């Protein structure tokens, strides 16, 4: 699966963009610029929402990259319900103005994928991690370490898209999914990982390094 280059406007948004532009043009021709202005603004919003810019991929060994744009809202030791172990969780909240393309945080093999239907509460709340609609992916690194990456739907989001399968080999920075309109991504890491971000910090998908993994001897 190719991940760079890719369209600067995500394919997931092409229909939304086309429909908004057509409606805007029809309103403009049937009335005037002032009446069409709100539709122009809506079209601009939709276009910016589905932007999917190229990112520079850090090459340091044993690092975990951010899978999403957004803000770091949680860093805590907790239970990873997908591997059933204690883990270090880093949560990233994606608002409606962030890029919503999701990218692999590491090089590795997808060993498990599981979709969970659920609620659509505000993704900024802690309980969204376990109560909202979500899609969990477990990745095994070359050294055998496992990390869990979870796409979580939010208050407005109603569609989680994941394009990989069990057995897929991912490269860091590889585009693997998309969440429409506001959401959250949780990353569960081994407890020995060294966190390199802080709560409140803005993250940039692929370019922000979340943590350094301990090298197994």
Asked if the model's pLDDT at residue 127 lies above 60, the reply is yes
3-class DSSP state for residue 107? Answer: coil
Asked if the model's pLDDT at residue 203 lies above 90, the reply is yes
Q: Which of 183, 198, 203, 217 is catalytic?
A: 183
pLDDT at 4: 46
Do the strands 101-103 and 183-189 form a parallel or antiparallel pair, or are they unpaired? unpaired
Asked if the model's pLDDT at residue 24 lies above 80, the reply is yes
At residue 99 the predicted structure's pLDDT band, cuts being 50, 70 and 90, is confident
> Taking the model in full, what pTM does it have?
0.85
- Across 2-14, average pLDDT: 70
Do the strands 101-103 and 175-179 form a parallel or antiparallel pair, or are they unpaired? antiparallel
Asked if the model's pLDDT at residue 36 lies above 90, the reply is no
Rg for the chain, CA atoms, rounded = 18
Where does 129-197 show beta strands of DSSP type E? Answer: 134-140, 146-153, 160-162, 169-170, 175-179, 183-189, 194-195
Check if 183 is active-site.
yes
pLDDT at 146: 97
Q: Mean of the per-residue pLDDT values for the chain? A: 88
pLDDT at 181: 67
Is residue 131 within 8 Å of 119, Cβ to Cβ? yes
pLDDT at 160: 86
- Across 85-108, average pLDDT: 92
Q: How many residues does the chain have?
A: 217
| Of residues 99 and 2, more confidently modeled | 99
At residue 82 the predicted structure's pLDDT band, cuts being 50, 70 and 90, is very high
pLDDT tens for each residue of 143-198: 999 999 999 987 665 678 899 999 999 999 999 998 876 688 999 999 999 999 99
CA 133 from centroid of its chain's CA atoms: 14
Pairwise CA distance, residues 75 & 91, whole Å? 7
Pairwise CA distance, residues 12 & 101, whole Å? 9
């Amino acid at each position: 699966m190719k991940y760079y280059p890719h369209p600067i406007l995500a394919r997931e948004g092409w229909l939304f963009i086309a429909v908004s532009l057509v409606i805007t043009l029809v309103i403009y021709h049937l009335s005037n610029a002032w009446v069409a202005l709100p539709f122009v603004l809506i079209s601009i919003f939709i276009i910016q929402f589905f932007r999917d810019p190229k990112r520079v991929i850090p090459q340091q060994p044993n690092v975990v990259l951010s899978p999403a744009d957004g803000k770091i809202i949680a860093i805590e030791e907790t239970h990873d319900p997908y591997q059933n172990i204690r883990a270090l969780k880093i949560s990233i909240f994606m608002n409606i103005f962030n890029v919503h393309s999701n990218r692999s945080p590491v090089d590795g093999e997808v060993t498990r994928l599981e979709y969970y239907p659920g609620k659509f509460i505000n993704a900024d709340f802690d309980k969204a991690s376990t109560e909202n609609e979500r899609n969990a992916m477990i990745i095994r690194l070359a050294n055998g370490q496992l990390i869990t990456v979870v796409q979580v739907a939010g208050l407005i989001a109603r569609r989680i898209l994941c394009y990989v399968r069990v057995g897929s080999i991912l490269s860091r920075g590889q585009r693997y999914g998309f969440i429409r309109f506001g959401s959250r991504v949780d990353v569960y890491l081994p407890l020995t990982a060294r966190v390199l971000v802080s709560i409140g910090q803005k993250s940039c998908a692929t370019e922000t390094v979340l943590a350094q993994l301990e090298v197994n001897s």
